[in-house]
């Protein structure tokens, strides 16, 4: 399983980011909402997010440099067949948190619920 993690860690965040936007927009949501979720989860502002995108930062570096929101522990549910709250590897858990939040956005959930306010 570690090899799968390594592959995910090395993936460029910039390579996946357009897919997050596409998933949201297909369901009538916006890039701004995707960015708001990323800002909330990582603590990055738009300038820092853009720098990571421009630099093609990999997921490992992207999340290791983030100040992950303490309320992220309130994110629960299943993504890719795993309960996010039970994932032991913190980095994979954070990546799956983002997947789960984008999923919730695409399913029409209200932003204040997605951002665990």
Using DSSP bridges, classify how beta strands 78-79 and 82-83 pair: parallel, antiparallel or unpaired: antiparallel
| Residue 44 lies in domain | 2-114
pTM for the structure as a whole: 0.92
Radius of gyration for the alpha carbons in the chain, expressed in angstroms and rounded: 13
Report the chain (117 residues): mean pLDDT per 10 consecutive residues. Answer: 70 96 97 98 98 97 97 93 93 95 97 93
Q: What is the pLDDT of residue 3?
A: 54
Largest CA distance in the chain: 36
Residues in contact with 112: Cβ distance below 8 Å, sequence separation at least 6, in sequence order? none
CATH code for position 59: 1.10.8.290
- Residues pairing with 73 in the sheet: none
Domain count, the chain: 1
Q: What angle do CA 92, 33, 94 make, to 5 degrees?
A: 10
C-alpha to C-alpha distances, 53 to 29, 61, 72, 116, nearest whole angstrom: 21, 12, 22, 25
């Amino acid at each position: 399983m570690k090899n799968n993690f390594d592959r995910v860690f090395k993936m460029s965040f910039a390579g996946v980011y357009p897919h997050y936007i596409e998933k949201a927009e297909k369901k009538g949501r916006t890039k701004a909402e995707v960015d708001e979720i990323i800002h909330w989860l990582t603590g990055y502002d738009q300038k820092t997010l853009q720098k990571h995108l421009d630099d093609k930062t990999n997921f490992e570096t992207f999340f290791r440099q983030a100040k992950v929101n303490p309320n992220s522990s309130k994110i629960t549910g299943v993504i890719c067949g795993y309960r996010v709250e039970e994932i032991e590897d913190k980095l994979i858990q954070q990546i799956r948190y983002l997947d789960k939040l984008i999923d919730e956005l695409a399913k029409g959930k209200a932003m204040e619920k997605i951002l665990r306010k």
